[in-house]
Structure formats: C-alpha cells, structure tokens
C-alpha cells in the first residue's frame, strides 16, 4: 500500500483517535493519515450491538493483553481485552454513555493544573459529539455524529433497583448527563436505531469519503521518528514490511492507555532506565511515561429473582426469535446493553464524594458453566469510583510485536480494598430493601457466600476482574513532571501530542468511552487552534 505523507499522522483509530482524524480532515486543506493496527469494523456483526461481544478474545480484533501477576490479587494474571480495529474499544464495549461528574473535571483544572479542562470547559465538547435521539434537552447535543439513546431493551426490575436505592438512602438522579452522578439512575447507550454507534460508525464512515483522509488498517506502529527535538513521522510494520510516513505538522499518539506509553518509550521518550534496559536511544527522559496506571477493579454479585431476565432468552428457539426481531425491527435481545442502571454511594457518611460505583446488569452468568445462567437473575458489578491504587506499563522489549507489560495493582491501596468490602455489604443491603426483597429468591454468587470481612477480602482478591477503564499512563498536568501539558503536547518534543484516555490525570468516576471521545474532540480543536496561530 502506498501511504502518502501528511500534515497530520494519527496513531490509533479508537475512541479518541477516530474523532481526531475526522475533525482534522474536515478542513480540506489538511492531509490526514490515520493508522490502525487492527482490521476494519464493517459488517453485520460489528453493527449489531451484541455482536461486539463476538469480537472479544478474537486475536484479530482484540489485543488480548495479559497482565503481570498482580500481588494485590494474590498474584493472579488476567487477560485484558482491548479493541483492535477501527473504533477500538467502542467497537466491542458495553455501549454505556456516561460523562462523569462535574467535580471530576473541576479537580483536573483546579487541583492538577490542567488549565482549560474544568466541567464548564469540557461540557461543550460532549455536546459537540452527541446526536441525542430523545426529546430536546439543554444537556444533550442534537447535531453531532455520535448517536446516544435510551436502551431499546428495558427490564422493569431496573426501576425497582433504583427504587431500592432510594429506600436505602440514595438520591434518584434526574439527569446524570448534567454532571451529577451522585445517586441512582438508568443509563443511556451509544446506539443508533438499534445499531452500535462505535466511533468507527459515527466519525469515520462519512469522513473516509474525503480525499484528504487516508485510513490504513493492519499498521502496527513501532515508533515516532524524532529529528532535532521534533516529531517528523511514524515508522510502522504493514504486512511485515517496515514503512515510514512523514508528518509535516504533527504526530498524534492515540494508542490508548495501554499502548500509547509503549509507543512513546520505543520512540525514546520515557524513563531513562527503562529505555536503557531495552537498548533504546533516549530522546527525552520523562520518568512518568507508563506510570500512574489506574483502573476500575470489578467485583460482581448475582441475585436470583422471581421473574425472567435476559439470560432466560438464550435457549435455541428464543435466540432464533430474538435474531429475527433484530434483523427485521432492530429490537430485542441483540440490542441489549450489559449495564442498564447505575448507582454511586458512600461507604462512609463523611465522604465528600461517592467512593463506590455500581453497574446493574439484567443478564446473569453461571460461573460454573461459563455461560448464561438457567435461573433468572440480576448482577451488580462494583468498582471503586476513583481508585487510589496505581500500576504501571513497561516494555517487554523494543520489538513492536511484543505487547507491553501491564502491572495493574488493581486493589493495591488499602483504602480501595476497604471501600470494596464495605460496598459489597451495601449491595446486599440494597437488595434487602422492600422494593427488591420481594423479588429476590437468593444470592447466587459469590458461592460460597462471604460472611466475614475476611471472607469478603478473599472473595474480592480471588474473583475480581478488570473494569476496562484504564487511564493516566501519559498524565496531563500543569507541572513539569507530567507527560503532556494541558494542550496535550508531549513535554520537550515539538509536533507531538497524546490524545486519548492515557492523558487523564485522575480517572473520572465513570466508564471512559464518552470522556475519551470528549478528549478527542477537545484535542482536535486545540490542534486546529494552534495551527492558526502565526509561528
């Protein structure tokens, strides 16, 4: 394939990179090349909401990273799924649309030196992306490319769950998209007329028709080329052949929280000791590249209930019927979202902000059979909303074919473990409230049911998984130690930015798809603004 030199080269076509490439190429005067390691995201299964699950654990469309043994989880290793195709994680995720709380972004701006990133300053970029499918609202955008809608499959027990949260003492949040997540609510989804609204669909389908945008799939990026302190292009492997594309203005790294630091390190930007270990010539010593990794630990509890839930639709004839519903009406099980309701709670009354985030699903799996349970059930996934635990990303080698080493430390901070133990008990209290108690037959898992705090600690350490919301490995900040400045420029290197979830200095108390899209929107706007400023 002939790859033409460009004004802007964007590495990674995920939640942020697809947005950046689309927005930069809106100006016909900009030549843009977008590089993606995985394949395209076309076809029936990519568009069907539940079809994204079929791509997980498929090495052609999923990075399937393997973590290092996590001492905070008893030395367990885990597979870390991450989208490897146009759209990245948005092509395989649970399609939850949540922005976070206004206090998340105000903390970035007021406490961490991230000028320009307060809630009032990022809110317009959430609206810019959004194509809200409901009634007009001051908190939703109507003219963007990203479809946001109410779920087509809505189980009545979700409202019952919210009622039970109210009975426990939580607020019913009237509009969580207004920057207020402190309470319980039914969540929205990134779907368009019953189809998955990945960033590939939303931002690239139309943009790809522009003659000034070239999308290259199967491009495994090795490194950014840097000459005299300036990013000048990108070296990659395409069908085993080493190819270089030049960038006349800027290179944008949008490889995601797990991959962007690895690309920087292979380019000679990172901790001096790590670069020396792998024989990489140092261009700039930035010790925090790959550090500060934080992620949502995910611990689930399941409850058998007295009415059918979505897992009861997985019989042979039921599945056939549901597939027909989808093909002819874009409705039914195939449009299901795995999380329909959410709640934020405090495990201690003196906390200023909720420390636990709950996500409610209406399809219960049976861990013993590795598939949907035969019994109707609800499952609650529990995270520390804003974790204090920190991990890191390192290189396995200087070879781009070798995936980075991930040391997550999911529950390495004692405060996080304490919150998880207390939160697990509160989940049981919520399900014991009158609204839900009359429907609960029994708690199905963990099995055996933990009784003491020691039992809960053991269950959390042996049964918890990854929340798939990693951030902060290329931290943004106002301090010189940060990897990127508030305009997302890599410190000390001209013409190089990082624009993805890795720049988030502190995790927003939310799933990270919508915040990553916002980062893409704001990052692209910054590039265009800076290009208009005379040199």
For 301-324, the pLDDT digits (tens) are: 999 999 999 999 988 889 999 999
Conformation bin of residue 138: beta by default, left when phi > 0, alpha when psi is -120 to 50: alpha
Cβ–Cβ < 8 Å for 9, 35:
yes
Residue 367 lies in a domain: no
pLDDT tops 80 at residue 535 = no
Residue 463 lies in a domain: no
Task: Give the pLDDT score at 533.
Answer: 78
Coil/strand/helix, residue 457: helix
Task: Give the pLDDT score at 534.
Answer: 67
Place of tokens 């939640």: 15
Q: Report the C-alpha gap between 412 and 335 in whole angstroms.
A: 36
Rg of the chain over Cα atoms, rounded to whole angstroms, equals 22
Give me the domain span that covers residue 100: 1-70+79-114+212-295+392-407+470-535
Q: What percent of the chain has pLDDT over 90?
A: 92
pLDDT in tens, 143-198: 999 999 999 999 999 999 999 999 999 999 999 999 999 999 999 999 999 999 99
pLDDT tops 80 at residue 69 = yes
Give the count of domains, the chain. 1
Residue 101 lies in a domain: yes
Give the catalytic positions in this structure.
469
How does strand 341-345 pair with strand 184-186?
Answer: antiparallel
Residue 439 lies in a domain: no
pLDDT in tens, 83-133: 999 999 999 999 999 999 999 999 999 999 999 999 999 999 999 999 999
pLDDT tops 90 at residue 499 = yes
Separation in Å, CA 406 to CA 66, 203, 264: 7, 30, 15
Residue 22 lies in a domain: yes
Task: Give the model's confidence band at 298: pLDDT under 50 very low, under 70 low, under 90 confident, else very high.
Answer: very high
Q: Is the torsion defined by CA of 181, 186, 189, 191 positive or negative?
A: negative
pLDDT in tens, 22-49: 999 999 999 999 999 999 988 888 899 9
CATH number for the domain that contains residue 102: 3.50.50.60
Residue 263 lies in a domain: yes
Residue 128 lies in a domain: no
Place of tokens 């995201």: 41
How does strand 284-285 pair with strand 269-270?
Answer: parallel
408 CB contacts (<8 Å, ≥6 apart)?
Answer: 67, 68, 70, 78, 80, 293, 295, 391, 466
DSSP state of 39: -
**Which one has a higher pLDDT value, 82 or 368?**
82
pLDDT in tens, 208-245: 999 999 999 999 999 999 999 999 999 999 998 999 99
pLDDT in tens, 386-425: 999 999 999 999 999 999 999 999 999 999 999 999 999 9
Q: What percent of the chain has pLDDT over 70?
A: 99
Scored b (16 or more CB within 10 A) or e, 291-318 reads bbbbbbbbbbbbbbbeeebbbbbeeeee
Task: Give the pLDDT score at 55.
Answer: 83
Nearest to 521 by CA among 24, 13, 4: 24
Average pLDDT of the chain is: 96
Nearest to 30 by CA among 285, 214, 197, 279: 214
């Amino acid at each position: 394939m002939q790859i033409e030199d460009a004004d802007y080269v964007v590495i990674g076509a995920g939640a942020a990179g697809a947005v950046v490439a689309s927005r930069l190429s809106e100006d016909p005067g900009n030549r843009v090349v977008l590089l993606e390691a995985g394949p395209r995201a076309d076809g029936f299964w990519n568009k069907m909401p539940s079809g994204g699950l079929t791509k997980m654990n498929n090495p052609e469309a999923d990075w399937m990273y393997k973590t290092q043994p996590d001492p905070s989880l008893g030395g367990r290793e885990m597979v870390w799924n991450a989208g490897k195709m146009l759209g990245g994680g948005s092509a395989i995720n649970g399609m939850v649309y949540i922005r976070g709380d206004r206090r998340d972004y105000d903390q970035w701006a007021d406490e961490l030196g991230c000028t320009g990133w307060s809630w009032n300053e990022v809110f317009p970029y959430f609206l810019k992306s959004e194509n809200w499918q409901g009634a007009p609202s001051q908190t939703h955008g109507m003219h963007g490319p990203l479809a946001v809608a109410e779920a087509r499959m809505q189980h009545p027990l979700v409202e019952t769950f919210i009622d039970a949260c109210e009975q426990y003492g939580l607020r019913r949040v009237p509009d969580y998209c207004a920057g207020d997540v402190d309470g319980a609510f039914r969540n929205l989804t990134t779907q368009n007329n019953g189809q998955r609204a990945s960033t590939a669909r939303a931002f690239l389908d139309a943009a790809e028709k522009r003659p000034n945008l070239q999308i290259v799939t199967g491009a495994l990026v090795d490194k950014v080329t840097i000459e005299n302190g300036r990013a000048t292009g990108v070296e990659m492997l395409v069908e085993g052949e080493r190819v270089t594309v030049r960038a006349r203005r800027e290179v944008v790294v949008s490889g995601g929280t797990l991959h962007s630091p690895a690309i920087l390190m292979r380019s000679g930007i990172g901790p001096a000791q790590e670069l020396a270990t792998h024989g990489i010539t140092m261009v700039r010593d930035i010790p925090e590249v790959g550090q500060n990794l934080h992620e949502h630990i995910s611990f689930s509890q399941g409850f058998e209930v007295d009415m059918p839930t979505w897992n009861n639709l997985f019989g042979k004839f039921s599945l056939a019927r549901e597939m027909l519903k989808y093909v002819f009406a874009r409705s039914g099980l195939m449009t299901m979202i795995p999380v329909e309701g959410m709640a934020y709670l405090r495990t201690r009354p003196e906390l200023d902000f909720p420390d636990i985030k709950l996500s409610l699903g209406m399809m219960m799996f049976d861990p013993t059979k590795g598939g949907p349970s035969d019994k109707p059930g609800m499952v609650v996934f529990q995270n520390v909303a804003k974790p204090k635990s920190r991990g890191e990303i390192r290189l396995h080698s200087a070879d781009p074919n070798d995936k980075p080493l991930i040391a997550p430390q999911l529950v390495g901070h004692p405060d996080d473990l304490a919150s998880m133990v207390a939160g697990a008990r509160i989940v049981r209290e919520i399900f014991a409230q009158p609204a839900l108690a009359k429907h609960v037959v029994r708690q199905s898992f963990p099995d055996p049911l933990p009784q003491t705090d020691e039992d809960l600690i053991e269950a959390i350490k042996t049964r918890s998984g990854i929340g798939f919301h990693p951030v902060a490995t290329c931290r943004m900040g106002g301090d010189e130690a940060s990897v990127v400045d508030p305009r997302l420029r890599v410190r000390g290197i001209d013409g190089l930015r990082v624009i993805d979830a890795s720049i988030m200095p502190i995790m927003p108390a939310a799933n990270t798809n919508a915040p990553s899209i916002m980062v893409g929107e704001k990052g692209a706007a910054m590039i265009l603004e800076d290009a208009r400023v005379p040199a």
